[in-house]
Amino acid sequence: MTAAAGSRGAGRERLVVIGGDAAGMSAASQARRLRGPDELEIVAFERGHFTSYSACGIPYWVGGHVQERDRLIARTPEQHRARAIDLRMRTEVTEIDVDRQRVRARDVDSGAESWTSYDRLVIATGARPVRPEMPGVDAPGVHGVQTLDDGQALLDTLARTSGRRAVVVGGGYIGVEMAEALINHDHEVTVVDRADEPMSTLDPDMGRLVRTAMEGLGITMAGGTAVTKVLTGDDGRVRAVATEHAEYPADVVVLGIGVRPETSLARAAGLPLGAHGGLLTDRAMRVRGYENIWAGGDCVEVLDLVSGQERHIALGTHANKHGQVIGTNVGGGYATFPGVVGTAVSKVCDLEIARTGLREKDARRVGLRFETVTVESTSRAGYYPGASPMTVKMLAERRTGRLLGVQIVGREGAAKRVDIAAVALTAGMTVEQMTALDLGYAPPFSPVWDPVLVAARKATAKVRASMS
């Protein structure tokens, strides 16, 4: 127990949580489950208006699949408070004083500041969207889609621009999901991306399949070109997006370029940050070198179990797991987060996109030599109605045959098939071991050889050939 804890007497400790979204509030809730209010006081600071909401759901709310904003909120401030969590909304932590074990917080509306001491601290400050520095980026009609407030502002704009032209900047998963949302609002959609092919979380050959499918949906794909400025009309609102080569008329612009860890507080406090700007933790999600500070969610780097290196991945599912692990440890239990294999799934209309493990360039970067195969198969037995084509790309290490990564592009039933590879990667399986996997087979669900097994067979043959 720390000195500060002792100073409050009666052995009652105080946990301070910075950030009221998935990681922070999962940690708080789990700690509360394990330790009652008599043992542990929990104070949580959130600078925004909402707690525990699904940022991943925003494209579907904007796109109209989800009717009400509040459906994205897993737990309201009131619900947290009912569980004896002292949640302070619209209160921004402005400093972490590690030496004196306290944080300074500012009431966003009044500007009043005060210090709160802690025995244990959880940093869950999330990520901030990349907002390109360029003329016009702050013009009305240009929207991010990071927060619920962002989503509402975009919906307000879309109510006025239906039937008109939208430009999405960025062809990653936020970009492609927003393209679908904008189609649902009857916009003509253009996606502008710096990379030649969209979904640069895939290899370019798989990204090309996504581009072709998106073009088939009527989306204009402008790849290999960077946005240089946002042009505005006489009314000051956006009227076009300019690249080095062209101008794309736009009544609304959505920025979907990605996010960076929000670690300015941590940096100022001297906490350890990694190459991607995220906090570095141990397996128990403790900030490295600090016995009583934990961090999780979009503000940390995670270990990639396949490459052995740290990465930054902003995903709600990781944030929830981190929170669970942190809360268990803060609550006196024991849990660890071993790392990730880099699984991600998304969709554009009926196109499903999935990846796990390493792309070709990731494997090269960490010095791995590998073989790749790409196979075409179907989601169901070929004779069963609704069988849809599916492309599976697989990377396997040379000589050892260890699975390194899988990418899948297809229709219904494509995305979640990547879980087979995610588990196999976690277990360190070879592609030859995978060929014997006892996967669910019945004609409505799979060909007699599941597409992942077809890829594993072909990869096995290629690995063997590489050894002779």
Active-site positions read 56
Instruction: Write down the least CB distance from residue 264 to a second copy, Å.
Output: 26
Of the two residues 190 and 320, which places its CB atom closer to a second copy in the complex? 320
What is the nearest approach in angstroms of a second copy to the Cβ of residue 74?
A: 8
Instruction: Give 246-251 contacts, CB < 8 A, sequence gap 24+.
Output: 246/222, 248/165, 248/167, 248/190, 248/192, 248/220, 248/222, 249/165, 250/141, 250/165, 250/166, 250/167, 250/190, 251/141, 251/161, 251/164, 251/165, 251/166, 251/187
How far, rounded to the nearest angstrom, does the alpha carbon of residue 356 sit from its chain's CA centroid? 13
Residue listed under structure tokens 């196999």:
424
Three-state secondary structure string covering 235-256: CCCEEEEEECCCEEECCEEEEC
DSSP 101-139: TEEEEEETTT--EEEEE-SEEEE---EEE-----TTTTS
257/306 with CB nearer a second copy = 306
Question: Helix, strand, or coil here: 378?
Answer: strand
Task: Point out which residues bind a second copy (CB under 8 A).
Answer: 22, 54, 56-57, 60, 65-66, 71-72, 173, 315-318, 320-321, 324, 336-347, 354, 356, 381-385, 413, 415-420, 422-424, 426-427, 429, 433, 435-446, 448-450, 457
Q: How far is the CB of 104 from a second copy (least distance, A)?
A: 32
Give the integer Cα–Cα distance in Å for 86 and 76: 13
Interatomic CA distance for residues 145 and 170, integer angstroms = 12
Q: Cα 62 to chain center, whole Å? A: 18
Q: Tokens in use for 344?
A: 């991600």
Closer to a second copy by CB, 130 or 423: give it.
Answer: 423
Work out how close the CB of 98 gets to a second copy at its nearest, in angstroms, rounded to a whole number: 29
Minimum gap (Å) between residue 282 Cβ and a second copy: 15
Strands (E), 124-246: 127-129, 142-143, 165-169, 188-192, 220-222, 227-232, 238-243
Question: Is residue 364 within 8 Å of residue 208, measured between CB atoms?
Answer: no
Q: How far apart are CA 178 and CA 411, in angstroms?
A: 18
Q: Which is nearer to a second copy, 22 or 178 (CB)?
A: 22
Q: Would you say 121 or 415 has its CB closer to a second copy? A: 415
In the complex, minimum distance from the CB of residue 435 to a second copy, in angstroms, rounded to a whole number: 8
Length of the chain: 468
Q: Which is nearer to a second copy, 114 or 336 (CB)?
A: 336
Would you say 257 and 129 are in contact if contact means Cβ atoms under 8 Å apart?
A: yes
Question: How near is the Cβ of 391 to a second copy at its closest, in Å?
Answer: 16
Select 356 or 372, whichever has its Cβ closest to a second copy. Answer: 356
Closest CA to 161 of 55, 254, 72: 254
